[in-house]
Chain A
């Protein structure tokens, strides 16, 4: 029988030092999700491996603080979001309040890397999504990921990004429009609903 995440956390906490078997299994289960979100939150594929590593290590050393009030996936998701947002703030040297400025999407630092458009053209579903997210400005992408991948509430997103609730709702609405348009443009007829 497959053990639940909660049981694995308990085992990892009780394991003698150096015995990482239970935690290894947790890593195996959650690494794809963690690395995916690190990649899209940071907007940088090269940084995503380092970020995912730091998030998972941080989770290990804080395992005893996991109280089981939410799922392990949600708990590690919160660590990941905090870690990636701090990384973004350090990297950009500015807070998300600054990112609120109108027309900021045009800033060179927030533009997608070269080749992202080519990824979008590629056609494969996974690559298509990656490509669209890569060309989406950070101001729209970050709240979209927090809402539609991490399933955080609007209020929580507003608190983490230090922006108003209405601004968050507006950005998510715009991000979804951006995503839908790009998706339809690249994969016409794929949409079911």
Chain B
């Protein structure tokens, strides 16, 4: 039996194809809130990582500049 022919199953199986239950009235709102929450968390995480990387970078720069032989170190002396 071909798969196409098998899809033509007649009553009552074909009732299944169009069968849906009433969606929960809160579903759309819950989806929206969940998306907003996850986006906010992702943004906050992004920001935290960026700030952390920037801090580490600044710290390394300061450290390198304070080493003897560096331009800024020589100027200060």
Contacts and interface: CB of A to CB of B under 8 A. Distances in A.
Chain B: interface residue count, which band?
20 to 34
Interface stretch (B12-20, B53-61, B69-77): B12-20
Interface of A: 17-18, 20, 23-24, 27-28, 31-33, 35-36, 39, 49, 52-53, 56-57, 60-61, 125-126, 129-130, 144-145, 148-149, 151, 153-154, 176, 179-180, 183-184, 187, 190-193
Contact of B34 (A57, A148, A192): A57
Which of A32, A36, A53 counts the most chain B CB atoms within 10 A?
Answer: A53
A33 B20 contact: yes
Interface in B1-52: 3, 7, 9-13, 15-17, 19-24, 26-28, 30-32, 34-36, 38-39
Interface of B: 3, 7, 9-13, 15-17, 19-24, 26-28, 30-32, 34-36, 38-39
Given A49-B27, A193-B10, A148 B38 contact: no
